[in-house]
Structure 1
Amino acid sequence: MKLGRKFLLITTLIVSVAMTACGNGNTAKESEKASPSASPSASASATNSSGVEGGEVIEVSTVAQSDPYLKFDEGESWEKNSVYDAYEKDIGVKITNKWIADITQFKEKVKITIASDDLPDFLLVNATQLKELTEADMIMDLTEVYDQYATEETKKFLTMDGGLQLKTATFDGKLMGIPSSYNPYQYQYLYVRTDWLKELNLPEPKTMADLVTISEAFKAKNPGGKSTTYGLAVSKNPFNIETGVTGLRAFLNGYHAYENIWIDDGNGGLVNSDIQPEVKQALAGLQDMFKKGLIDPEFAVKDTEKAAELLYDDGIGMVFGASWTPAQLVKGAVKDNKVVQEWGVFPIPSVDGSPARPQIGIGVDEYFVISKKAKHPEGVIKLMNQWIVIDNHPTPEQKVYTLGKDLVEKGSNYWLLNPLRVGKQLDNNGEILPKAIETKDESILQTQDQKTRYERAMKFVDGDTSMWWEYLISGPKGALSLNPEIQNNKQYMQNKFYGAPTPTMVDRQEILTKKRDEVYFKIMMNQVSVDEFDKFVEEWKKLGGDEITKEVNEWYAANK
């Protein structure tokens, strides 16, 4: 039976690889791109007890994703670098790479690796692959090795959410993967050119009506001095990608609509957000803005960076984005060491009197799995133990893991060389950082991440304009300063489905998403009536949506 399941999985994946065109394949979290310490960090008192015993060194293999944000120190490479040397020296684990793929090809290469049953000792996979590898008996049950080798600090670190993320990697009581965890309480916001608001004597946006009014004023009065100015920046694929800039997920949230999550149906069950009537209202709002010329008519052929050029070049004055979006905006905001654009960050405007609720997941969508053929699974757990230590409370010498052998911050994202990274599931950055920066009180900083962000923000305060972006993230009126109110009042909408993709999801979700985007786009670009949404809902149900809803509710009944 096990051999049969493995053969079926390999055959299926080979066909899948042959049929699937290479996508952009970016497996790095968007929030990680903003800075070397952007993965959430925490302080902890426990120490790593898994050092080298008797001088023994064990070897574990993995696969690596090259990244345009990563720059090696001189003379180093994926084969030989200070991070790999440090792991071998400090905990006796030698890291080798079975292969290295460009960021645009990584996901496809992982598919091929799984399909050919040629796994390294450990690798990062998505939720569907975790389930398939479990069913094919290709990966190891980690229950015992995790219990034996994970430090108490690691176990506490990975259960800050009550164990929910670990639960998503557990099948029939067996832990089959380590969640590549991150803080799910990361929200989207509205960024606005506040210098334009002042120039045109406009109020700060609080409602969706305000957003439209501001857009109209930006277009009509052209404060950027361009031949054409638009109100809101949008790029192609704005609904089905979790982009940190130029997406429209937050626009939907402003109408109390949500992109492909499962929410309460009011009767004890779950429904998919894509087919709810609030979405129709949001699409009507977008269609109205498009008809008024408040959105670039060529947005549908522009990727994120191309669409953002209008932001950098004074052609657009508003954009929805994540907390790290200022790291993108700085390209236009600071020129020749001078701040030439003023941006403010605001909560998502609401269509009515109820606060908008930004949508969030549960903080995990990928998992580290260990091949059943791995000779030293304990080595993988030791890598995780060490990462948690050095990312949260490193000694000065351990900064080699994130800065390189010279221990100097160079903006090279050297930390991406660490092959197994897990982030903190909760943080208090929104409470601590704005206060520390405003009062210049370092004593209240608690984590390495907070200390790094504080240092960068204070450089801006002291005149270093290159750190403008960090101040807009972490400063007194920065993006993170908005989080405590959202968090404390639970003004967010969390996906209630956290199981592995259901059988019909695996078979039909891609078709449903493609159909959804096609209809959404046509409505938004005024090619069809907004009433086409009603037809889409019926088609969605017939194309597999009803069956998926049934499967999700069966899972929900068993996991409440």
Structure 2
Amino acid sequence: MKSKKALAIVSLTLALAMSGCSSKTSSETNHSSGNAKEPIEATGTGNGNDMIEVSTVSPSDPYLKFDEGESFDKNSVYDAYEKDIGVKITNKWVADISQFKERVKIAIASNDLPDFLPVNATQLKELTEADMIMDLTEIYDQYATEETKKFLTMDGGMQMKTAMIDGKMMGIPSSYNPFNYQFLFVRMDWLKELGLPEPKTMDDFLKIAEAFKAKNPGGTKEAFGIAVSKSPFSIETGVTGLRAFLNGYHAYENIWMEDGNGGLMNSDIQPEMKKALAALQDMFKKGLIDPEFSVKDTEKAAELIYDGSIGMVFGASWTPAQLAKGAVKDGKVVQEWGVFPIPSIDNKPTLNQIGLGVDEYYVISKQAKHPEGVIRLLNQWIVVDNHPTEEQKVYTYGKDPVEKGNNYWLLNPLRVGKQSDNNGEILPKAIENKDESILETVDQKTRYARAMQYVEGDTSMWWEYIISGPNGAFSHIPEIQKNKQYLQNKFYGAPTPTMADRQEILTKKRDEIFIKIIMNQVSVDEFDKFVAEWKKLGGDEITKEVNEWYKSLK
């Protein structure tokens, strides 16, 4: 799982929250994901004798429920930081999660920053060039604990390198596990009812989609083959995204991959993308895709899943947390879902596209009086998220140190996740054998406990069993890892000049053309015109800059 990333998309935030993840902009970071077996003493975190204050900004998440008498202004998590490390946290402003990113843009444009805040890679570079944020190189070296430094370089330092601009550390990577794969989730009860085989190829997938459409086993007004929303190529669209579908056709959404000649090329303009778009157009013509998808956001499009109009979705490991909205009703499991690797269009295995495990950064304003306070927060989060004491459970649960669904972990203002885990090896085996002795991490113990609740009859924890149990999403990860069935973005530098200036335009143009192709409003051959336009609008220049960066590494 991912992030921190407090996802701007409510569905992903819900899934992350329900599965105990630290929110990335919503991205996919694991809360309580540490693998440390022995507690490590945190040093240099400060104490109540040298109280300092730092300001930030916070997204108001609908799944964060405050205990009585508490709020963003005063709560037990902020109190714990003040008591334990001598850092008082204040919010310059709080915005609804759907508006948070826009508010950050406004704050940057008006040069009205708090002491620290999360920004994306482009904003990191813009703030650096505008001389609005601090070079953290010396501050981090002085105040980060050894555990913190080790924790953030478990991947060999690649994520940390993305925060370096001209040799200076300009932000703290909001890290998460990059090996956050996508899967195909299928209504198993429908497969059995219609006598269909489990999907092993993309051809199987298409035949199942057509059967679900024609037979309509959910008995709804109209059935479709797959859920799609108006922003289908973003990972943030969760269960209504098409990134995994593209991967099944060996096409990848905006990553930089080897071109076979020692350089890098952008995936959006490769021939495989055209083939995937042609397949989607064909599905649309056959009525397998909701004709109104282009005007529906993620949650609206997902209603077709909950009501039984759709029986297949692509999504990350946390997807069952969202599917539970339709799968569990009045204490009963009414939809039976199974999890499968992404099928392939041919005899080549599907490669799950993955990023670097970081797409946001915590930056510190040049006006901050106590930047060391931010590093103290970082140190403390890593300690309490990976090996908390009983007293430190307040950071996760609030003043009552028990899980009550309040998602108090969202109040932690600076969250980073571990860059790898072994959940796929440990959890399915532990749950199947009811053997908690092999559990290693806080995250695994939490997930095991929830899955056991389901086994013992608590259907509210169904989603965890589909994630972590035997034949669950995690159970497929070891095979993917072993066979290296993933493709990681090869570019991890700061946005190039043209990328910072033109990428948003290129992405918007791409989405417009791709959606028109899918909806059969234009011929699939419009893809070729898009490629030519992409190159002229800055794509060629970006490619040149990316390859200059790539050569500099050799």
Instruction: Identify the residue that residue 129 of structure 2 maps to in structure 1.
Output: 135
Quick one: distance in 2 between partners of 1:358 and 1:242?
Answer: 16
Contact 2:11/2:238 (8 A) holds in 1: no
- Number of matched pairs: 537
Counterpart contact for 1:245–1:319, Cα < 8 Å: yes
Change (3 A) 1:461 1:135: same
Can you list the C-alpha shifts for 1:4-47, whole angstroms capped at 9, x where unaligned? xxxxxxxxxxxxxxxxxxxx955997563333345421132322
What one-letter code is carried by the residue in structure 2 that aligns with 1:360?
I
Q: Is the 8 A contact 2:35 2:421 kept in 1?
A: no
- The 5 Å alignment of 1:5-154 reads 25=8, 30=13, 32-37=16-21, 39-40=29-30, 41-44=33-36, 45=38, 46-53=40-47, 55-154=49-148
- How big is each residue's C-alpha offset from its partner over 1:285-315, in whole Å with a ceiling of 9 and x where there is no partner? 1111111111111211211111111111111
Q: Are 2:526 and 1:532 aligned? A: yes
Match of 2:214 in 1: 220
Mapping for residues 238-277 of structure 1, pairs under 5 Å: 238-277=232-271
Q: 1:224 to 1:150 in 2, by over 3 A?
A: same
Q: Is the 8 A contact 1:238 1:247 kept in 2?
A: yes
Q: Distance in 1 between matches of 2:294 and 2:45?
A: 53
Q: CA deviation at 1:559?
A: 2.6
CA contact (8 A) 1:35 1:411 kept: no
The one-letter amino acid paired with 1:69 is: Y
Instruction: Please tell me whether residue 281 in structure 1 is matched to residue 265 in structure 2.
Output: no
Match of 1:83, SS state, is helix
What residue identity is the alignment partner of 1:34?
A: M
Counterpart-to-counterpart distance in 2, 1:29 and 1:367 = 19
TM-score normalised by the chain length of structure 1 = 0.93
- Paired residue secondary structure (2:265): strand
Q: CA deviation at 1:79?
A: 0.9
1: distance between equivalents of 2:293 and 2:518? 11
Does the alignment pair 1:390 with 2:384? yes
Cα offset, 1:520, TM superposition: 1.1
User: 1: distance between equivalents of 2:10 and 2:358?
Assistant: 12
**Partner SS state of residue 268, structure 1:** coil
How far 1:113 sits from its partner (Å)? 1.7
Most deviating of 185-194 and 506-515:
506-515
Counterpart amino acid of 2:226?
A: L
Letter in 2 for 1:42: G
After TM superposition, the structure 1 = structure 2 runs for residues 489-500 of structure 1, keeping only pairs within 5 Å, are 489-500=483-494
Answer yes or no: is 1:516 the counterpart of 2:516: no
Matched residue type, 2:314: F
Q: Tell me the C-alpha RMSD between the 2 structures.
A: 1.6
Distance 2:261 2:94 in 1: 49
Q: Report how far residue 241 of structure 1 moved.
A: 4.6
Which residue in the other structure is 1:236 paired with? Answer: 230
Counterpart-to-counterpart distance in 1, 2:529 and 2:265 = 18
Mapped pair 1:318 → 2:312: yes
Give CA deviations for 1:254-295 in whole Å, capped at 9, x if unaligned: 000001111111001111111100011111111111111111
Quick check: 1:195 aligned with 2:179? Answer: no
Q: Which of 151, 154, 158 matches 1:160?
A: 154
Greater displacement, 439-448 / 36-45: 36-45
Q: Indicate conservation of the 8 Å contact 1:508/1:543, yes or no.
A: yes
TM-score (norm 2): 0.94
Q: Conserved in 2, the CA contact under 8 Å of 1:61 and 1:120? A: yes
Question: Is 1:328 the counterpart of 2:322 in the alignment?
Answer: yes
Q: Relative to structure 2, which stretch is displaced further, 138-147 or 33-42?
A: 33-42
**1:526 maps to amino acid:** N
Q: After TM superposition, give the deviation of residue 54 of structure 1 in Å.
A: 7.0
Tell me what 2:549 maps to: 555
What percent identity do the matched residue pairs reach? 78
Matched, 1:463 2:457: yes
**In structure 2, what is the Cα distance between the partners aligned to 1:284 and 1:138?**
46
Q: Give, as a single letter, the amino acid of the residue that structure 1 aligns with 2:384.
A: I
Q: In the aligned structure 1, how far is the partner of 2:262 from the partner of 2:35?
A: 39
Aligned residues of 1:349 and 1:356 also touching (Cα < 8 A): yes
1:342 aligns with 2:326: no
| Higher deviation after alignment, 413-422 or 98-107 | 98-107
Q: In structure 2, list runs of 5 or more residues that go unmatched.
A: 1-6, 23-28
AA partner of residue 545 (structure 1) = G
Range with bigger deviation, 97-106 or 355-364: 97-106
Contact map agreement 1:65 1:102 (CA 8 A) in 2: yes
User: 1 CA distance for matches of 2:385 and 2:330?
Assistant: 34
How far the C-alpha of 1:186 sits from its partner, in A, is 0.2
Q: How far apart are 1:164 and its partner, in Å?
A: 0.6
Q: What SS is found at the alignment partner of 2:238?
A: coil
**What residue is the counterpart of 1:7 in the other structure?**
none
**Are the aligned partners of 1:253 and 1:356 in contact in 2 as well (CA < 8 Å)?**
yes
What's the CA shift for 1:117?
2.1
2:496 aligned partner: 502
State how far apart, in whole Å, the 2-side matches of 1:369 and 1:26 are: 22
Please tell me whether the aligned partners of residues 344 and 350 of structure 2 are also in contact (alpha carbons under 8 angstroms).
Answer: yes
* Alignment deviations for residues 441-500 of structure 1 (CA, whole Å, 9 cap, x no partner): 111111111111111110000000010001001111111111111112110111111122
Contact 1:263 1:495 survives alignment (8 Å): yes
Aligned pair in 2 of structure 1 residues 200, 27: CA closer, same or farther (>3 Å)?
A: closer
For 1:290, the equivalent position in structure 2 comes to 284
User: Deviation string for 1:90-149 (max 9, x for gaps)?
Assistant: 111111111111112211221222222222211111111111211222211111111111
1:29/1:234 Cα in 2 relative to 1: closer, same or farther (>3 Å)?
Answer: closer
Moved more, 528-537 or 403-412: 528-537
The residue matched to 2:55 in structure 1 has which SS? strand
Aligned twin of 2:3:
none
Cα distance in 2, alignment partners of residues 309 and 339 from structure 1: 17
Q: Shift of the alpha carbon at 1:432? A: 0.8
Structure 1 residues 124, 27: closer, same or farther in 2, change over 3 A?
A: farther
SS of the residue 2:228 aligns to: coil
**Matches of 2:140 and 2:388, distance apart in 1:** 23
SS at match of 2:388: coil
Pairing 1:309–2:293 present: no
1:493–1:27 Cα change, 3 Å? farther
Does the 8 Å CA contact 1:26/1:106 hold for their aligned counterparts? Answer: no
* Structure 1: gaps spanning 5 or more residues: 1-23
User: Partner letter of residue 442 of structure 1?
Assistant: E
Q: Which range moved further: 178-187 or 511-520?
A: 511-520
SS at match of 1:55: helix
CA distance in 1, matches of 2:102, 2:214: 46
